[in-house]
Amino acid sequence: GSEPWCCCRLPNLGATMGNAQCCTSADTGEDAAGEAMPKVETWPPSEVGPPGVTGGNTPAERMYKASLVKVEGQPLGMDVDFMAERSVLPILFVSGGIADAWNKEHPEAKISAGDAIVEVNGVRSVEGMLQKCKVDPVLSLTLIKCLTYGHLVQDLEKLISIKGCGPIMIRLAWHDAGVFNGVDGCPNAAMRLAGGGEYSFGANAGLPQVAIPLLKQISEKYVPRLISHADLWALAANVAIKVMGGPSIVTHFGRLDAQGLSEGAQSAAGRLPDADKDAQHLRDIFYPKGFTDKDIVALSGAHSVGACHADRSGFEGPWTDDKLKFDNSYFRDLLKKTWTKATAKNGKIQYVSGKTMMLPTDMVLIEDAKFKPYAEKYAADQNAFFEDYKEAWVKMQELGCGRLRDIL
């Protein structure tokens, strides 16, 4: 039969790939950050359940088998996409040959472009499956429906649109990557591991309980066959930004998932910002990560979406009038609205204007002489904000990572 087609790809970079070198934290102190960070809301109240995923909502619905018997002189008629970093062989297309004959005889188990082979004659490694496809006379295939990058993006778009959970997807990716302190900590999805560490950070309240379960159906389908949890969280945030009207952001892949608590940060101290502090505090947090004043202000613009809750952080309310629209309204509101200092029930200070609010770390963007010009620039020019945000956000998502790849 015809030999499977292989895509061009980056070479295997070994230890330099992904985040393998940054995932053991030397920080063993107590979580001094405690409950400092604002906890962004989950999603608007809704009785609508998760929307499901392409190809079927259970493994039994998504998985099927096919048996191809090679015939001398006839092509296999099925081309696959090989990449060593994957654990599946995605099917690029079926065209004539033995595979097409199977499809005509077995419409209930039709081999289709966009499906992926996960096992060939008992072998599950991609190199081994590829070799089996080349040399074995009979191929007993196990396949999964709709297992491509395009299907993954489609499933994320559907989840975010139906559940309105874009803001918490951004927060999940930001807190996964933002624990990097210039020395250790990295985007490795350690937050999903219960029992301590990042899972228990006060700053992460609601993320393990809400954001990660929202992704459950998607992660069960795609992780680890196509993508890691850490890469999925980064991609989900970027899809959310686009769905909510923000810029298109390129996602790079190759982050490695933490396999134990020791691979995550043990304390939030000095890693994530405290919402009731000053401009110097923001610099103390962000400068060691490699960010500039411009980056700090641009990243703050993500507060155009989401809201805070008093029962989680002590702060209450949305930053903008439309908490599911990613635009430059955060900066316009900062500069144009009249903000009145108010004391929350627990004694924390925030600033209010009608139904919207700002945190002390928001107000410093127009009070600090070096921050303010960037806030004014972004309020006047949304495109400028989007461009600077993209640059800073990609840097954030790749903190502590080695070389990542451009394709999944």
303 catalytic residue (yes or no): no
Q: CB 16: neighbour CB atoms within 10 A?
A: 12
State the catalytic residue, choosing from 151, 175, 229, 303.
175
Under 8 Å between Cβ of 380 and 334: no
374 exposure class (CB count in 10 Å sphere: 0-12, 13-18, 19+): buried
Pairing of strands 307-308, 317-318: antiparallel
Indicate the DSSP class of residue 288.
G
Work out the angle at residue 126's Cα, subtended by the Cα atoms of residues 120 and 129, and round it to the nearest 5 degrees: 25
Ramachandran angles phi, psi of 401, nearest 5°: -95, 150
Under 8 Å between Cβ of 198 and 265: yes
Residue 393 corresponds to which tokens in the numbers above? Answer: 């956000």
Under 8 Å between Cβ of 244 and 169: no
* Residues sharing a CB contact under 8 Å with residue 311, sequence separation 6 or more, in sequence order: none
406 exposure class (CB count in 10 Å sphere: 0-12, 13-18, 19+): exposed
Cis peptide before 273 (omega within 30 of 0): no
Known catalytic residues are 175
